[in-house]
């Protein structure tokens, strides 16, 4: 079952030889649990899934599932291939590894110049190739190109009866309201990836947050998701702080998130396969360090201690 709340887009820690640091993986999962998250989105773009072999993606998903146990809902993707048979294989691997929902990537179902009819045809074929009991999700992953769901494709997801999770990256409050209206009563839960539009999406029926910044201060997103209705003025103030702090994701991500998490006591290297950690310079470190001061202010605002 997909529960409402915060689903961080999990980063992948590495050892010095760039192999996956599974000890740090377990520590990250524990960090999410301690900060109140409802679930975790593993083997996604933040996890550098396009830079992991299928064996690594499967092992990573299994490690997260084992660490999460009954404490977090684990959704996972690993959907990177172009060939439909390869896509089915990698998605089945996430299911076999224990993910409670297997998340498809919208841009894998059609090239940028292909229409929704082609997209839906491939979606239906892929669904047929996956276990019938598998709960599915959809992710508007920005890479290799962003393919946003349309009214037609979103309708197909809802109509199929197979989908329970959407990671929305449209970053448009009006479009989010339209989508949430379309999904009402379908059983499909929409999780916003964008900090700036989060509060508005929650007020209009959104199920929570699944974004980069939940690797920095997930407890603040948890508070917003749980208390926005009963404390609207405080929620507005927290929303403003979260929006401002979210600019940190432009500072050599995911290296900046690894630096911040290590600074927060979750020991890991800042090595990356998708970004050059040498670009994470003194100014980058200073920027992230100053964000931690804003985090302290935000926690004081909502009376959270960690």
> Which of 14, 167, 228, 258 is flagged as catalytic?
167
Asked whether 201 and 190 are in contact (CB, 8 A), the reply is yes
Closest CA to 65 of 90, 96, 44, 34: 96
| Residue-wise DSSP of 195-264 | STTHHHHHHTT--EE-SGGGGT-HHHHHHHHHHTTT-HHHHHHHHHHHHHHGGGGGTTTTHHHHHHHHHT
Question: Omega before 167 cis (within 30°)?
Answer: no
248: left (phi over 0), alpha (psi -120 to 50) or beta: alpha
> Which of 7, 139, 221, 228 is flagged as catalytic?
139
H-type helices in 39-131, by residue range? 54-68, 84-96, 116-129
Q: Is 139 a catalytic residue?
A: yes
What are the distances in angstroms from CA 268 to CA 22, 49, 96, 98, 181? 10, 18, 28, 25, 42
| Residue-wise DSSP of 269-298 | ----SSS-GGG--HHHHHHHHHHHHHHHHH
Question: Omega before 93 cis (within 30°)?
Answer: no
Closest CA to 198 of 189, 185, 210, 216: 210
Residues with a known catalytic role:
139, 167
């Amino acid at each position: 079952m997909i529960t409402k709340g915060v689903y961080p887009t999990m980063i992948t820690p590495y050892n010095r030889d760039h192999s996956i640091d599974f000890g740090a993986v377990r520590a990250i999962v524990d960090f999410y649990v301690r900060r109140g998250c409802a679930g975790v989105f593993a083997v996604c773009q933040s996890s550098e899934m396009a830079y992991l072999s299928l064996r690594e993606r499967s092992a990573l998903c299994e490690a997260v599932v084992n660490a999460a146990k009954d404490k977090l809902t684990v959704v996972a993707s690993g959907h990177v291939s172009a060939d439909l048979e390869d896509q089915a294989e990698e998605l089945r691997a996430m299911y076999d590894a224990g993910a409670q929902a297997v998340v498809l990537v919208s841009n894998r179902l059609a090239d940028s110049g292909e229409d929704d009819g082609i997209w839906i045809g491939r979606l239906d074929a892929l669904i047929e190739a996956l276990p019938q009991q598998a709960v599915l999700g959809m992710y508007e992953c920005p890479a290799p190109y962003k393919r946003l769901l349309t009214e037609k494709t979103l309708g197909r997801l809802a109509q199929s009866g197979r989908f329970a999770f959407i990671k929305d990256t449209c970053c448009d409050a009006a479009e989010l309201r339209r989508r949430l209206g379309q999904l009402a009563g379908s059983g499909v839960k929409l999780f916003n990836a964008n900090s700036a539009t989060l509060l508005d999406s929650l007020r209009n029926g959104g199920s929570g947050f699944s974004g980069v910044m939940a690797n920095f201060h997930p407890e603040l997103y948890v508070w917003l998701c749980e208390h926005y209705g009963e404390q609207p003025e405080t929620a507005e103030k927290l929303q403003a702080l979260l929006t401002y702090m979210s600019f940190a994701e432009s500072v050599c991500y995911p290296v900046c998130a690894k630096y911040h998490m290590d600074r927060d006591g979750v020991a890991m290297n800042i090595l990356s396969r998708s970004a050059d950690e040498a670009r994470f310079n003194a100014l980058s470190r200073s920027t992230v360090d100053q964000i931690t001061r804003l985090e302290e202010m935000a926690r004081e605002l909502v009376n959270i201690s960690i």
